Amino acid sequence: MSDYKKVKDYMTRNVITVDPDMPIEEIKRIIKTTGHDGFPVEKDGQIVGIITASDLLIKDSKPTVRGMMSDDIVIANEELSINDAARVMFRMGISRLPVTNENMKVLGIITNTDILRSHIERSTPEKVSQYRKTLEQLYGVKTELTKEKIKVSKLKPTQDKVFADELQGRTYEIEKGLAEPIMAVKINEDKYLVVDGHHRLVASTQMGNDEISAYVISLDKEIKLGIEKTAEKNGIHSIDDIEIIADAQHPLIAVTGKLRDKNTTIKK
């Protein structure tokens, strides 16, 4: 079960974009009149960079946006979860994330303020409650909810891969005591299915922890859930079967410079 709040739910859609050939004096005027301090740079309907008020302060002055913008930037797909967007922005030290479609056209932008708003509104117990209702309706069972520490050896994953760059964020959260509990379904005394939180589970295991905090949904009868059948079909039986993807970013983010290196057409 993935995070249910996405970038598209919180991003600003009516974004002011600027042209790379726009005079710097015009950018200064826009910053002053709008109160915004950063703008995606688009050319022929594709993002080619971003320019911020900080660029104007720390870089040598150039006559146009092209000479002062950053053109190797992180962009996101609107389906990216809010949690993952927050971790990307934190790890990379950025305060805004342009959101584009598959053709690199700017759809919106999400900022630290948007992330904060989403986290204030977020309710993990609500997410667990929704999943409980789904189980009860699909399988005709009664459920109970507890929060407890579970031995990692009793957890059975249902996801076949995690991303190495995402593990960094989860590790930091665990170290600082900021990590949410995972979500698991108790099948019996020795088996708990991991429904949500595979990155947290792998990160915690790598840190040498033999227990992890979890919201546990207990069923009134032992049944085999569809997610367990799918996991077994894919050869996922234990944490050791989860593949850590080290050479890939999150599938819903990209760096424009790397896209250019792969001969993706970005018109200038």
Do residues 179 and 169 lie in contact, with contact meaning Cβ atoms separated by under 8 Å? no
Question: What percent of the chain has pLDDT above 70?
Answer: 91
| pLDDT, tens digit, 9 for 90 and up, residues 130-168 | 899 999 999 999 999 999 999 999 999 999 988 887 787
pTM of the model: 0.58
Place of tokens 């424009």: 256
| pLDDT value of residue 1 | 40
On average, the pLDDT of the chain sits at 87
| pLDDT, tens digit, 9 for 90 and up, residues 28-42 | 999 989 888 899 999
Nearest-angstrom CA–CA distance, 47 and 44:
9
Position 2 confidence tier, pLDDT thresholds 50, 70, 90: very low
The type of residue at 238 is S
| pLDDT value of residue 175 | 87
Give the residue-averaged pLDDT of 220-226.
91
Position 18 confidence tier, pLDDT thresholds 50, 70, 90: very high
Question: What percent of the chain has pLDDT above 90?
Answer: 59
Domains, in order of start, for the chain: 7-120+249-261 (3.10.580.10), 123-237 (3.90.1530.10)
Give 62-117 as a DSSP string. -SBGGGTSB-S-EEE-TTSBHHHHHHHHHHHT-SEEEEE-TT--EEEEEEHHHHHH
| pLDDT, tens digit, 9 for 90 and up, residues 68-99 | 999 989 999 999 988 888 888 887 888 899 99
Among the listed residues 47, 96, 86, the one whose alpha carbon sits nearest the alpha carbon of residue 259:
47
Nearest-angstrom CA–CA distance, 132 and 144:
8
In this predicted structure, which of 111-120, 147-156, 214-223 has the lowest mean pLDDT? 111-120
